[in-house]
Structure 1
């Protein structure tokens, strides 16, 4: 299969660069266990890429929790403060980010996280790696991002931050979630998906390319410099 060459690259963060999707599961299950509820993978899959307030509203509604949005967000914040400081970089992510940076390929971060959550995840161990992103978009904090994934807002806003204003078709997105893939496609961008092993293959079919790990990515497929 042939792919169209790109000039700019946008990265999701949770579950793609960092192992935080696993930590979100732990955090939300810790809250739900108090009410005898389970954070199922199906519910999680439907929420991945949502803004924090969207996630809170949908979990409360889906599981009929006796909590307000504000209470759920406050409890989530307490969990995140315990879990997020010790995040780990997923295989292949550092190599790819450093490679693109070295070859002066414009890169940007497009995460549904809030800016506070972002700092919890990166400040202890990963400041140096994330300093390589000159442009960052935080979907749960940026007022320009009106709707979370699967809406295209976050990727269009992220692309607009590049000084040379690339057309969407010149941007390649890296994502792990079905909603993120849909958002990238809605924005008119190609998207490489690195799905969770738990995700049924049927949910990867909208991606331009699906791979098991960022270690498997070949930049030259999209006209980017090959690994040395």
Structure 2
């Protein structure tokens, strides 16, 4: 979800930077890159400990959650996300959302874009009872696959990811991965992906046995949050 469907990673880092500045701490670029794809709780634990924040991890997480409720719904879609989701949905290709974000965060985004998020057969978050560990463990993707009616084998599943943490999760689950990395990510962190593209607009479905794009893909709704 974050960084793949939605350009919400940028908002997350702005929120964290704002909280750090509130306590005269600097949220460095290096630390930002390390936080791509990890859970909210892991972000809070790492930032509080490494920057020696004068508040507890729980308090930092509470403040981050409060900011998220206000700012996350304004996250724009990633380039090409609407196109590919609509295309696969039109061709009845089963899709699931598998995210290290919480169910609450998923609901926030789904409330803003109900039709888009309604294209997913189901959604699996870090707070799903069946998920023991978040990415980079394979749990989230294995649970997501198990919830499709036909119970596909891992090798039948194709994952879209933007982070090295997510790619590791998918590879460990035995799935193929299309990676759309943040341009600041070191190339070394992209090597395990099946294929690497600059944006979802560059994805060619036919490479994976999926129907090629139509010339005029349909568009879905978008709620103006400005």
TM-score (norm 1): 0.90
Indicate conservation of the 8 Å contact 1:51/1:147, yes or no. Answer: no
The count of corresponding residues between Structure 1 and Structure 2 is 214
Mapped partners of 1:41, 1:143: distance in 2 = 33
Mapped partners of 1:142, 1:29: distance in 2 = 28
Residue 193 of structure 1 corresponds to: 179
Higher relative contact order (CA 8 A, sep 6+): 1
Kindly state the Cα deviation for residue 120 of structure 1 after the two structures are TM-superposed: 2.1
Indicate conservation of the 8 Å contact 1:46/1:179, yes or no. Answer: no
Residue 213 of structure 1 corresponds to: 199
Kindly state the Cα deviation for residue 187 of structure 1 after the two structures are TM-superposed: 0.6
Of 16, 35, 39, the match for 1:28: 16
Return 5+ residue gaps in structure 1 as ranges: 1-12
Equivalence map 1:1-228=2 (5 Å): 13-124=1-112, 126-139=113-126, 141-228=127-214
Kindly state the Cα deviation for residue 99 of structure 1 after the two structures are TM-superposed: 0.8
Q: Secondary structure at the match of 2:9?
A: helix
TM-score (norm 2): 0.90
Mapped partners of 1:45, 1:147: distance in 2 = 21
Kindly state the Cα deviation for residue 109 of structure 1 after the two structures are TM-superposed: 0.3
Kindly state the Cα deviation for residue 56 of structure 1 after the two structures are TM-superposed: 1.5
Over residues 70-98 of structure 1, what are the superposed CA-to-partner deviations in whole Å (9 max), with x where a residue is unaligned? 20111001211221121211111111011
Mapped partners of 1:156, 1:179: distance in 2 = 15
Mapped partners of 1:143, 1:49: distance in 2 = 20
Indicate conservation of the 8 Å contact 1:45/1:178, yes or no. Answer: no
Of the structure 1 ranges 81-90 and 92-101, higher mean CA displacement relative to structure 2 is found in 81-90
Quote the RMSD (CA, aligned, Å).
Answer: 1.2
Q: Secondary structure at the match of 1:192?
A: strand
Q: Secondary structure at the match of 1:206?
A: coil
Q: Secondary structure at the match of 1:78?
A: helix
